[in-house]
Amino acid sequence: MEGKIGEVREEIESTESHLKTLNDEVAYSIISLTCYQPLPQPVPEAPVVSFASRLVESFYTGWTLITSLLIGMAAIWPFLLLGGAGW
């Protein structure tokens, strides 16, 4: 019977020691809390056009101009031929 009581006391002391260790660990715990607030970003009324997109658009416009001139020359070739012959 004494052996049983000794085992129970030993278990109680072990549990108390473990509880004390856990309480000490909790006492040194740190809680960090960071809060963020989303800020509204101003939206421009007109879309911002980048340099690269403007450059590509200018190349496209130049190509369209060249093709339009060539098509125009092909359309007025009889007048150019008559003008050259008349000169």
- Which class for 66: exposed (0-12), middle (13-18), buried (19 or more C-beta within 10 A)? exposed
Q: What is the CA radius of gyration of the chain?
A: 45
Q: What is the pLDDT confidence band of residue 47, given thresholds at 50, 70 and 90? A: confident
Distance CA 3, CA 8 (A): 9
Whether the pLDDT of residue 75 is over 90: the answer is no
State which H helix or E strand residue 52 sits in.
helix 51-75
pLDDT at position 6: 86
pTM for the model stands at 0.38
Q: Across all residues in the chain, what is the average pLDDT?
A: 86
